[in-house]
Amino acid sequence: MIAAYLVLLIPLIGIVYFTLAGHKTDTGKLNIKFNGICLLATIWLAVNVLNQGRIISSNEAFLIDPFNVYLIVLTAFVGFTTSIFSSPYMAHEKEIGKLSDQRLKLYYSMFQGFMLAMYLVLTTNNMGIMWVAMEGATLATVLLVSLYRTPESIEAAWKYFILCGVGIAQALFGTILLYYAAVQIGDGENALLWSVLYENADKLNPEILEIAFVFLLIGYGTKIGLVPLHNWLPDAHSEGPTPMSAVLSGLLLNDALYAVVRNKMLVDGATGSNMAGFLMMGFGLLSFLVAAILLHRQKDIKRLFSYSSIEHMGLMTFAFGIGGPLATFAALLHMTVHSLTKSAIFVTVGHAAQLAGTQKIDQIRGLIKTQPRIGWGLLIGTIAIAGFPPFGVFTSEFLVLLATMHSYPWLAPLLLLDIGIAFAGLFRHIQPMVYGIPPKDQQAIKANLWPVIIHLALVLWLGLAIPDFLANWFSQATLLISGSTPL
């Protein structure tokens, strides 16, 4: 359990330290160290869970089980590699005069603040605290979206703040209804603990929980970026600094989905029907369809990939909605591979945008000629996210498709068509950016592509063979969520 406290304590120290010490030349490196130590702590935590199974703290405030432990490690890992990318990236932004020391101080302390909120969402056992931490993540990132203080970035941040704030208020109403159902079966102060609720799920009033789930899905769904609540997402991703886009896409969306699934487990237990699943399927499929079509109309490279995030989150929500063991397993795997791939892509996109000096797709040309590593990184990343074998995204999408064919065969052609549309939407933009003729004075820049290489290698590995311990966690989590194992 010490490991879990350590995971929360390190970012907290980070916030305090960065706020008090101000920005120095080595702050970026220090940020890497903080995230690195945190990654080690999460690995320690994971080893504990591997040896002992589910861990619950003595006051029942924290709960680590196979469902959240891999997300915790993933969060720490993506946080670590993004901080490696962000250090030279932000230094470059300062060199070209886009940011001051004051803003960088804000950036680094809020980076740690965001990580703290993410760890708290994942580790807490209390549904109320989960909401508080989720809102905390919005509050930590909202000033980072407007970090450049351009009119566009302020508009994006305002939209993000209002939409996510109002959206997540719905989730609080859902949580209150959940609590209302829980106090009816007794136990006031502990009634919001997930472990207690899960054990007594069949006693909770199903009608109230159904209403509660609608609010919870709308609330956390705003954060997942489900259509039609997705409006803030492309704006926030495109106007904020790129490392922020990487963690928003890779971590925040995942954690919001995690919150929905935790709640779905309770609702399923109470209602005994798949009502929650149907809602998730509907929203998921709609997001998947709309985002894939909108991919074709984008002119900004970061907006392009944020729509791709909406599309993939839609697919995951859909898969969790189907709810069988196969679909759940696929969704868990997809959460992992999407998060790794998408953060790798945003890192490459950040370099590409610095190289070309713009985020406009039709002005980024010939990456592979000017700087082959960036060009190849973008190309391979896109191939991976579009779902080509042998990458992990292919495996998970294939499993989702299999599960769909098994449960709802009439939806399978729609999914296939949509994957095709999304593929075309990505490649019509990526192809000229990578292969086109570079502008005359385009110079190579200093770029650290190690995070990209490591992420994509991991995705490749997951596509070829899932390591035993991970497969074991996925099956245990599947057992927890869907009630039976896929293997």
Write out the residues near other proteins by the rule CB under 8 A.
126, 128-129, 131-132, 135-136, 139, 142-143, 146, 149-152, 154-159, 161-162, 165-166, 169-170, 172-173, 176-177, 179-180, 183-184, 188-192, 205, 207-208, 210-211, 231, 234-235, 238-239, 294, 297-300
Specify the residue, 126 or 328, whose C-beta has the smaller distance to other proteins. 126
Please provide the size of the chain in residues. Answer: 487
Output the 3-class SS for 355-406: HHCCCEHHHCCCHHHHCHHHHHHHHHHHHHHCCCCCCHHHHHHHHHHHHHHH
Q: Give least dist CB 429 to other proteins, A.
A: 12
Q: Give least dist CB 32 to other proteins, A.
A: 27
Specify the residue, 154 or 412, whose C-beta has the smaller distance to other proteins. 154
- Asked if 393 contacts 461 with a C-beta cutoff of 8 angstroms, the reply is no
Specify the residue, 153 or 482, whose C-beta has the smaller distance to other proteins. 153
Half-sphere exposure of 214 (CA within 13 A, CB side): 5
Beta bridge partners of 126: 193
Q: Give least dist CB 237 to other proteins, A.
A: 11
Apex CA 289: angle with CA 391 and CA 154, to 5°?
90
Q: Give least dist CB 275 to other proteins, A.
A: 13
Backbone angles phi, psi at 320, to 5 degrees: -65, -30
Specify the residue, 126 or 336, whose C-beta has the smaller distance to other proteins. 126
Specify the residue, 334 or 429, whose C-beta has the smaller distance to other proteins. 429
Q: Give least dist CB 297 to other proteins, A.
A: 4
Q: Which residues have a Cβ under 8 Å from the Cβ of 97 and sit 6 or more positions away?
A: none
377 vs 40: CA distance, rounded Å: 27
Beta bridge partners of 64: 55
Q: Give least dist CB 183 to other proteins, A.
A: 5
Backbone angles phi, psi at 366, to 5 degrees: 60, 40
Residue 418 structure tokens? 């949509």
Specify the residue, 129 or 399, whose C-beta has the smaller distance to other proteins. 129
- Asked if 455 contacts 341 with a C-beta cutoff of 8 angstroms, the reply is yes
Specify the residue, 9 or 208, whose C-beta has the smaller distance to other proteins. 208
Q: Give least dist CB 316 to other proteins, A.
A: 22
Closest-CA residue to 63 (of 2, 114, 126, 3) = 126
Residue holding tokens 């069949």? 202
Q: Give least dist CB 176 to other proteins, A.
A: 5
Strand ranges for 242-296 from DSSP E: none
Q: Which residues have a Cβ under 8 Å from the Cβ of 22 and sit 6 or more positions away?
A: 101, 105
Specify the residue, 270 or 383, whose C-beta has the smaller distance to other proteins. 270
